[in-house]
Amino acid sequence: MIIKIIFATILTGIFSGILITIYELLIIFVKTSLFMGDPKETISKLPVWYIYLIPTVAIFIVNILVSRDPNIKEYTINEIADSIVKNRMTLRLKTLFFKIISSTLSLASGFMVGTEGPSAGIGAMIAYNIHKLFKLPKMLVKMMISVGASSAIAAIFVSPLTGIAFAVEYIAYQFLKKHIAYLIVGSIIAFAISINFLEPINFYYSVGRNFDLKFFIASLVFIPYITVFVYFYLFLKKKVLRFIDLEIFKNASKYRNYIFSIIGGGVVGTILLIEPHAAFSGKEMVNYLINKQSGLGLEFVFTILILRIIGTTVSIYANSVGGMFLPLMTIGALAGYSFGIILADFNIIKEPFYFASVGAAVFMGVLMKLPLTSLVLSLETTFDYNIVIATGIVVVAVEYISSLYFHISRKYIGRADKIWLRFKNKKD
């Protein structure tokens, strides 16, 4: 039995690494095809109507696919695992195919969602089918799904430790003592494949073990600063868009998804015209911010920051298929970089990219309720004590402050609140 589990784990890692690499390269290919080159260079040369047409048509197609197979959008990895254990659903290759197509269209057309959600789902489905192929005991199905999800996260982030931490914190903490070895094997193999084709998020200016007290003091000031942007994001998602969804469209609920498709296409098209850097998943932006030595203007950073917050929340309500890991990291990186610019203007620090790295980990950690993963992410990308310590302090403080006014649910972080209300009412 142990030999079968080991082989199943290795195969899960191999297929996750290969399929996630293909998935990421497919997004790049479709994006380049839709915008006839690099969008940041071609958008200014394309007709305005075409810029609005791309995201609008793409999200309409996505909503049609979601209406045919709700599993594309509505199941988180944890729900998938629980549903399989209770014999409530079966993961199908058709769902896997539709999920890849829907997330590719969402990401390639400019919607501000990430690749890690679909990647984790893809990994889970691969693992589930390998579990069936090897006829492993039913009691191991959730462990195998955890292996698949962690392998996929390790591949898409080109980061094995982050993949393992994600699986342990989000899915498989109850399996930690028994099955952590299989998570490690799957993640390492998937990472080994993806690193040959994909670009990891790296912080190139680490000073490592040289702890500087000024960064610690500055991180305390950073707590209320980034909390403002966390509140703004949550207010827009949970108050403004929720009100529009539940109140303004309550008499047109039948056409709700298509109305939000038009709104989503219009918002994303406008963002693409104003500043293309503010659109898409945000991976390039995070890499740029945490490694940019030459100064960026505060007005430029704030513009992208506000556009990202608006675009990300609207993308959720428009039913774009993707994860929230990278979009939230991007917002946090922008908030952190703007904070660093302000400190640099007062000659307190000279390196704004330090706080871009802290902000990226904290914003994701707070809003996805993954503080351990955020800490591991900051460690693996920077290997810098200043950033790791700041991330640990800030993520705990901001999570507590945010919980005083908003209820943050990990399960529904990537969904419109109307879906959450329907789910709640059914349970009640």
CATH number for the domain spanning 250: value is 1.10.3080.10
Interatomic CA distance for residues 149 and 241, integer angstroms: 30
Residue 404's domain comprises 213-427
Handedness of CA 51, 55, 56, 57 (dihedral sign): positive
CA angle 163, 168, 170 (to 5 degrees): 90
Average pLDDT score, the chain: 80
Mean pLDDT of 370-374: 80
Within 10 A of 355 (CB to CB), how many other CB atoms are there? 34
Measured torsion, CA atoms of residues 392, 393, 395, 401, in degrees rounded to the nearest 10:
160
Residue 200 lies in a domain: no
Interatomic CA distance for residues 353 and 405, integer angstroms: 30
Domain boundary among 140, 166, 194: 194
pLDDT band at residue 86, thresholds of 50, 70 and 90? Answer: low
Cα within 13 Å of Cα(357), Cβ side = 31
With residue 395 as reference, give the H or E element that holds it. Answer: helix 385-403
Same domain, 61 and 150: yes
Residue type at 110? G
Residue 226 lies in a domain: yes
Express each pLDDT in 122-180 by its tens digit.
Answer: 888 888 889 888 888 877 887 788 788 878 888 887 777 776 776 666 655 555 545 55
What does the block give as tokens for 337? 């970089």
Within 10 A of 49 (CB to CB), how many other CB atoms are there? 8
Lowest mean pLDDT across 22-26, 83-87, 201-205, 236-240: 83-87
What does the block give as tokens for 9? 């784990």
Specify the pLDDT at position 248.
67
Q: How far is CA 388 from the centre of its chain?
A: 20
Interatomic CA distance for residues 21 and 39, integer angstroms: 21
Which positions ≥6 away from 376 have C-beta within 8 Å? 161, 162, 164, 165
Residue 48 lies in a domain: yes
Same domain, 152 and 217: no
Same domain, 48 and 75: yes
Residue 323's beta-bridge partner residues?
A: 114
Same domain, 224 and 190: no
Q: How many domains does the chain have?
A: 2
Residue 201 lies in a domain: no
Beta strand residue intervals within 146-294, DSSP E: none
pLDDT band at residue 410, thresholds of 50, 70 and 90? Answer: low
End-to-end CA distance of the chain: 42
Same domain, 124 and 226: no
Contact yes or no for 176/168 (Cβ under 8 A): yes
Same domain, 269 and 399: yes
Residue in the block written with tokens 């610690």 = 216
pLDDT above 90: percentage of residues in the chain: 22
Same domain, 18 and 146: yes
Task: Looking at mean pLDDT, say which of 10-19, 90-99, 133-142 comes out highest.
Answer: 10-19
Interatomic CA distance for residues 276 and 412, integer angstroms: 28
Residue 207 lies in a domain: no
What does the block give as tokens for 380? 């693996």
**Is residue 6 pLDDT above 70, yes or no?**
yes
Same domain, 112 and 241: no
Interatomic CA distance for residues 397 and 403, integer angstroms: 10
Contact yes or no for 153/193 (Cβ under 8 A): no
Interatomic CA distance for residues 355 and 334, integer angstroms: 9
Specify the pLDDT at position 310.
93
Q: What are phi and psi of 306, to 5 degrees?
A: -65, -40
Same domain, 261 and 152: no
Burial class of residue 298 (count of CB atoms within 10 Å of its CB; 0-12, 13-18, 19+):
middle
What does the block give as tokens for 379? 């460690």
Specify the pLDDT at position 242.
77
Q: How far is CA 410 from the centre of its chain?
A: 12
Predicted model pTM: 0.81
Domain boundary among 194, 226, 241: 194
Same domain, 106 and 237: no
Express each pLDDT in 20-41 by its tens digit.
Answer: 899 989 999 999 999 999 998 8
Express each pLDDT in 343-361 by its tens digit.
Answer: 888 887 777 778 888 998 8
Same domain, 127 and 175: yes
Three-class SS of 102-165: HHHHHHHCCCCCECHHHHHHHHHHHHHHHHHHCCCCHHHHHHHHHHHHHHHHHHHCCCHHHHHH
Specify the pLDDT at position 49.
95
Residue 368 lies in a domain: yes
Interatomic CA distance for residues 370 and 206, integer angstroms: 23
Residue 317 lies in a domain: yes
pLDDT band at residue 419, thresholds of 50, 70 and 90? Answer: very low
What does the block give as tokens for 409? 């649910």
Task: Looking at mean pLDDT, say which of 259-263, 281-285, 405-409 comes out highest.
Answer: 259-263
Interatomic CA distance for residues 13 and 147, integer angstroms: 8
Domain boundary among 194, 229, 257: 194
Same domain, 229 and 181: no
Lowest mean pLDDT across 134-138, 262-266, 275-279, 378-382: 378-382
Express each pLDDT in 211-232 by its tens digit.
Answer: 677 778 888 899 999 999 999 9
Residue type at 15? F
Read off the DSSP letter of residue 202: -
Residue 205 lies in a domain: no
